Chains A and B, each alone.
Chain A
């Protein structure tokens, strides 16, 4: 059963004909041509598929596309503004906070969502906030440092 679903994707309006119960992950990766959200587990266990729905991190592998109707979806491709990297992206580069990079989009978007709620987190709070995202390369220590650095910059500059 196909339905028309409209939402904002990375700040642009999109409207697609789609089966509403299909997972957002595959709709983003096929009909909408994106590659940032990755497949990792399919059952909400690893976080590599994370996208923002109205600014909050959701796992697109278990989110039906109809949940996005009328809302704003942001993927990693939409985080930089006018070519300027988000402070989280800059901090991940500055800390070498990645290796294979497959989990990186999900890490950054989960951190973004977390910092909206906790703009001035302790190290322990960052660790707790990121604990459901998996990284097999073991970049954890640098990811934590990068998030703390980005949080400080965001507070200092008023960056969202």
Chain B
């Protein structure tokens, strides 16, 4: 093996257009190659930063050719900046395209998340693929179909209205000998023609493909092991990098000694500001060698741990901002016969996708090509460009299959690291975080504190609602119920601001909503109990939103709900929620082992109304996924830490849901095919904390105010 890069230290590997840099090459007597690279990014970096800003402002393309291409053989390629991380657009987007273009869905291929080939996209998150990108894609396909019909009509000199299209073949209804395929019309070229008026989308009554359940199109390659993820991309001459991480967040590197590697010429050692790595042709060798570096760090400046963090977050932060206010809070208070004031807490939660952040970067023809496990290819392109001091035009990000994201792959440090190391070494470099690095670098769902005060009037209705969410974010904080006087305030957001958490925080599947639904729906249950009312009947008392009523009434009916005041001993919990345009209502049944505090979730039923459903099969998969994943943050998942150092860095102590947790599960989607499609990847998870908290209370009388509801916390909370 000889991993030394050809031409090391002579010329910058990217060619003359690479910004000048001083690279010091020190060849140790033993052959160890040590690079100290001091970047002079200055001007280029700020230029790249403005390019980043420009990229962020980029608008969706209005040219339908950006979204689709018809080959001469009639196959259609769909181009999207969205990525496939399990949530299913690899299936649903071709369905939408096929529907509006009038081709077979099997004739549609899809290219996802390639910044050179796909139209700009802001990132795959927020359950936006179907409800926001979907209409753009459908409009592009509808316009292409209309233009193709115009082209055929002109060719045959007949009115367009005389033509029909089926499976990509245009036919003249007056002359059956006249038929032409899309491929014959376009000859595989982009179509240089557009409609004068906006295209007309099909009505739901006309759908043949949309609304039909489709199995996953990626299943075959995934069960055969043929599906490629970023770590599966191999290029000749590549090196694998292992990166030095501090023992705690905020601990700055003082010095590093690589002399232990000096005896082995197969290693490449790179030290740049903020980046120390050992590279080797074999990943396990690089990882092993990293352990032989001697590094000294300053102690972390952080002095919080997973117990004191709540007191910290309750105290610090920017001014609270008003999210929404209705009526007169003081008047509501004065009407209240009973008030319930509660503070809810939730821990930091990890994304813990099965695939850790991985990227391969290679310089190709003066450009940086990065294959990355990202939810945000265009964002990754901007991050890489900024880090290199290159314009975004010199960076291409390609997104293979992504092995789970959940919000955690929105930022792309691993892509930046791979690109910096590829630039430093002149070799293709793969960065694949270890599970420990994955936890360490994660942008956790933030620990949060929610203060809720609420009161009941003489009629047993909610008279006021005073709500403050600290650090979880305001998404999902608005009250679904009709309350005459309410105030909702938020401090910070799910992604910060920086300076208050000891580590990174960010979007985690339905950011903000899980915390807010836990607090709101737990509080509603407490109020129902104070009103001596059944929790479903109590909710319906102050619920006029027809979609919310519909899901709640449906779940009660399908479950066979028998009214009872919370604390019935049955172990039943209910909660409702609204997110991404979609309403959910969920009932869960649990049993608590009072000796151990262990919860068994026996049955969960979720009813969802999400407007028009593109792929009912895929939508149900997402609901099941949400229920199962939701059990984790509700019952076990939390990051324990002290002074910036994590105690939970792998699956041996960070417990995510397993097969043995599997409840009986029922998912029901209510028909609403005349309303626009809404989000499906996130809504069903948001209620899981409250459903289980309410069920635990119903079973035992214990009201759990902190997530996760671990056995020891449940035992402690059990009434004597």
Whether A142 contacts B651 by the Cβ 8 Å rule is no
For B281, the chain A residues whose CB sits under 8 A away are: 30
Task: Kindly state whether residue B455 has any CB partner on chain A within 8 Å.
Answer: no
Give complex CA distance A30, B284 in Å: 10
For B403, the chain A residues whose CB sits under 8 A away are: 38, 100-102
Whether B617 contacts A127 by the Cβ 8 Å rule is no
Q: Which of chain B's residues has its CB closest to A107's CB?
A: B223
Whether B621 contacts A99 by the Cβ 8 Å rule is yes
Q: Which of chain B's residues has its CB closest to A132's CB?
A: B658
Query: Interface readout for A19-54 with B: 1 if CB under 8 Å, 0 if not?
Result: 000110010011001111011111101101000000
Task: Kindly state whether residue A58 has any CB partner on chain B within 8 Å.
Answer: no
Task: Kindly state whether residue A77 has any CB partner on chain B within 8 Å.
Answer: yes
Whether A142 contacts B284 by the Cβ 8 Å rule is no
Given A103-B354, A131-B660, A144-B659, the answer on whether A42 and B435 have CB atoms closer than 8 Å is: yes
Given A43-B652, A100-B354, A102-B355, the answer on whether A138 and B215 have CB atoms closer than 8 Å is: no
For B227, the chain A residues whose CB sits under 8 A away are: 101
For B86, the chain A residues whose CB sits under 8 A away are: 98-101, 137
For the complex formed, measure the closest distance between the CB of B286 and the CB atoms of chain A, giving whole angstroms: 10
Could you tell me which residues of chain B, from 632 to 689, have a CB within 8 Å of some CB in chain A? Answer: 650-652, 656-662, 665
Binds A, one of B165-173, B228-236, B488-496, B520-528: B228-236
For A142, the chain B residues whose CB sits under 8 A away are: 621, 624
Give complex CA distance A127, B356 in Å: 25
Whether A35 contacts B629 by the Cβ 8 Å rule is no
Give complex CA distance A77, B225 in Å: 6
Whether A41 contacts B435 by the Cβ 8 Å rule is yes
Task: Kindly state whether residue B300 has any CB partner on chain A within 8 Å.
Answer: no
For the complex formed, measure the closest distance between the CB of B64 and the CB atoms of chain A, giving whole angstroms: 30
Give complex CA distance A154, B222 in Å: 21
For B218, the chain A residues whose CB sits under 8 A away are: 101
Whether B659 contacts A93 by the Cβ 8 Å rule is no
Given A100-B353, A102-B354, A131-B660, the answer on whether A138 and B225 have CB atoms closer than 8 Å is: no
Give complex CA distance A22, B225 in Å: 23
Whether A35 contacts B223 by the Cβ 8 Å rule is no
Whether A35 contacts B657 by the Cβ 8 Å rule is no
Given A93-B219, A136-B353, A138-B627, the answer on whether A76 and B224 have CB atoms closer than 8 Å is: yes
Whether A101 contacts B401 by the Cβ 8 Å rule is yes
For the complex formed, measure the closest distance between the CB of B436 and the CB atoms of chain A, giving whole angstroms: 8
Task: Kindly state whether residue B120 has any CB partner on chain A within 8 Å.
Answer: no
Whether B284 contacts A22 by the Cβ 8 Å rule is yes
Complex partner residue of B659 from A26, A30, A33, A127, CB under 8 angstroms: A127
Give complex CA distance A135, B231 in Å: 18
Task: Kindly state whether residue A104 has any CB partner on chain B within 8 Å.
Answer: yes
For A139, the chain B residues whose CB sits under 8 A away are: 621, 624-625
Q: Which of chain A's residues has its CB closest to B667's CB?
A: A141
Could you tell me which residues of chain B, from 186 to 217, have a CB within 8 Å of some CB in chain A? Answer: 215-216
Given A99-B86, A100-B403, A136-B354, the answer on whether A33 and B219 have CB atoms closer than 8 Å is: no
Whether A43 contacts B355 by the Cβ 8 Å rule is no
Whether A35 contacts B283 by the Cβ 8 Å rule is no
Give complex CA distance A102, B356 in Å: 10
Whether A41 contacts B651 by the Cβ 8 Å rule is yes
Task: Kindly state whether residue A96 has any CB partner on chain B within 8 Å.
Answer: yes
Task: Kindly state whether residue B69 has any CB partner on chain A within 8 Å.
Answer: no
For the complex formed, measure the closest distance between the CB of A48 and the CB atoms of chain B, giving whole angstroms: 6
For the complex formed, measure the closest distance between the CB of A137 and the CB atoms of chain B, giving whole angstroms: 5
Could you tell me which residues of chain B, from 389 to 415, have a CB within 8 Å of some CB in chain A? Answer: 401-404, 406
Whether A93 contacts B223 by the Cβ 8 Å rule is yes
Task: Kindly state whether residue A1 has any CB partner on chain B within 8 Å.
Answer: no
Give complex CA distance A29, B284 in Å: 11
For B88, the chain A residues whose CB sits under 8 A away are: 99
Whether B220 contacts A93 by the Cβ 8 Å rule is yes
For B228, the chain A residues whose CB sits under 8 A away are: 35
For the complex formed, measure the closest distance between the CB of A92 and the CB atoms of chain B, giving whole angstroms: 5
Whether B355 contacts A96 by the Cβ 8 Å rule is no
Task: Kindly state whether residue B434 has any CB partner on chain A within 8 Å.
Answer: yes
Task: Kindly state whether residue B17 has any CB partner on chain A within 8 Å.
Answer: no
Whether A38 contacts B354 by the Cβ 8 Å rule is yes
Q: Which of chain B's residues has its CB closest to A92's CB?
A: B223
Whether A134 contacts B85 by the Cβ 8 Å rule is no
Task: Kindly state whether residue B628 has any CB partner on chain A within 8 Å.
Answer: yes
Give complex CA distance A131, B658 in Å: 6
Given A40-B354, A98-B219, A138-B627, the answer on whether A76 and B225 have CB atoms closer than 8 Å is: yes
Give complex CA distance A82, B403 in Å: 28
Give complex CA distance A22, B220 in Å: 31
For the complex formed, measure the closest distance between the CB of A91 and the CB atoms of chain B, giving whole angstroms: 9
For the complex formed, measure the closest distance between the CB of B620 and the CB atoms of chain A, giving whole angstroms: 9
For the complex formed, measure the closest distance between the CB of B237 and the CB atoms of chain A, giving whole angstroms: 13
Task: Kindly state whether residue B322 has any CB partner on chain A within 8 Å.
Answer: no
For the complex formed, measure the closest distance between the CB of B350 and the CB atoms of chain A, giving whole angstroms: 10
Task: Kindly state whether residue B450 has any CB partner on chain A within 8 Å.
Answer: no
For A75, the chain B residues whose CB sits under 8 A away are: 225
Q: Which of chain A's residues has its CB closest to B651's CB?
A: A45
Whether A39 contacts B224 by the Cβ 8 Å rule is no
Task: Kindly state whether residue B626 has any CB partner on chain A within 8 Å.
Answer: yes
Give complex CA distance A105, B404 in Å: 15
Given A41-B651, A133-B659, the answer on whether A30 and B216 have CB atoms closer than 8 Å is: no
Whether A128 contacts B660 by the Cβ 8 Å rule is yes
For A108, the chain B residues whose CB sits under 8 A away are: 223
Given A100-B353, A136-B629, A141-B628, the answer on whether A85 and B617 have CB atoms closer than 8 Å is: no
Q: Which of chain B's residues has its CB closest to A101's CB?
A: B222
Whether B223 contacts A144 by the Cβ 8 Å rule is no
Complex partner residue of A135 from B226, B354, B652, CB under 8 angstroms: B354
Give complex CA distance A141, B657 in Å: 12
Give complex CA distance A16, B660 in Å: 40
For A96, the chain B residues whose CB sits under 8 A away are: 215-216, 219, 617, 621
For the complex formed, measure the closest distance between the CB of A82 and the CB atoms of chain B, giving whole angstroms: 13
For the complex formed, measure the closest distance between the CB of B282 and the CB atoms of chain A, giving whole angstroms: 6
Given A35-B225, A96-B216, the answer on whether A134 and B658 have CB atoms closer than 8 Å is: yes
Give complex CA distance A42, B650 in Å: 9
For the complex formed, measure the closest distance between the CB of B596 and the CB atoms of chain A, giving whole angstroms: 18
Give complex CA distance A54, B625 in Å: 34
Whether A134 contacts B651 by the Cβ 8 Å rule is yes
Task: Kindly state whether residue B130 has any CB partner on chain A within 8 Å.
Answer: no
Whether B223 contacts A104 by the Cβ 8 Å rule is yes
For the complex formed, measure the closest distance between the CB of B206 and the CB atoms of chain A, giving whole angstroms: 27
For the complex formed, measure the closest distance between the CB of B34 and the CB atoms of chain A, giving whole angstroms: 24
Whether B222 contacts A104 by the Cβ 8 Å rule is yes
Task: Kindly state whether residue B514 has any CB partner on chain A within 8 Å.
Answer: no
Task: Kindly state whether residue B336 has any CB partner on chain A within 8 Å.
Answer: no
Give complex CA distance A133, B231 in Å: 20
Task: Kindly state whether residue A113 has any CB partner on chain B within 8 Å.
Answer: no
Query: Interface readout for B600-631 with A: 1 if CB under 8 Å, 0 if not?
Result: 00000000000000000100010011111100
Whether B354 contacts A98 by the Cβ 8 Å rule is no
Whether B652 contacts A45 by the Cβ 8 Å rule is yes
Give complex CA distance A157, B657 in Å: 34
Task: Kindly state whether residue A73 has any CB partner on chain B within 8 Å.
Answer: no
Task: Kindly state whether residue B352 has any CB partner on chain A within 8 Å.
Answer: yes
For B138, the chain A residues whose CB sits under 8 A away are: none
Between A and B, 15 residue pairs with Cβ closer than 8 Å are A35-B225, A93-B215, A93-B219, A98-B219, A100-B86, A101-B222, A101-B403, A102-B354, A103-B354, A130-B659, A134-B658, A136-B406, A138-B626, A138-B628, A140-B658
Instruction: Apart from A138-B625, A139-B625, list 18 A-B contacts with CB within 8 A.
Output: A30-B282, A38-B229, A39-B231, A40-B435, A43-B652, A79-B224, A99-B86, A99-B404, A100-B404, A105-B225, A130-B659, A133-B659, A135-B354, A138-B627, A138-B629, A139-B621, A139-B624, A141-B624
Please provide the 9 A-B residue pairs with the shortest distance between their CB atoms, ordered closest to farther. Answer: A36-B225, A138-B628, A102-B403, A100-B86, A99-B86, A101-B222, A76-B225, A138-B625, A35-B232
